[in-house]
Amino acid sequence: MSYIVINLFTLLLIILFAESLMYLITIKNTKLKSILTYIVMAVIALITSQYIPNDYKEFTKTFAKAFLILALVSLLRKNTDLN
């Protein structure tokens, strides 16, 4: 159970850090900003995987891969904003 909690906590910290950085950038919520957010999350996950114990290293690398896939999907997605 603690393994799951630590992994979820790591994921939430990565997302919180990247989203707070993107919040400080004062550009509109565009496709470029969402792609940059996912790329920043992937980079943070890769950096985190270098400094945590081996038990959690593969999980953060999986985070990084997932965030890069999300960035690719966000890049290829058509603009479906209703605003």
Q: With contact defined as beta carbons under 8 Å apart, do 2 and 50 qualify?
A: no
Of the candidates 81, 51, 63, which has an alpha carbon nearest to the alpha carbon of residue 14?
A: 63
Residue 83: band (very low, low, confident or very high) from pLDDT cuts 50, 70, 90: very low
Query: Residue 22: pLDDT band by 50, 70, 90 thresholds?
Result: confident
Does pTM top 0.85 for this prediction?
Answer: no
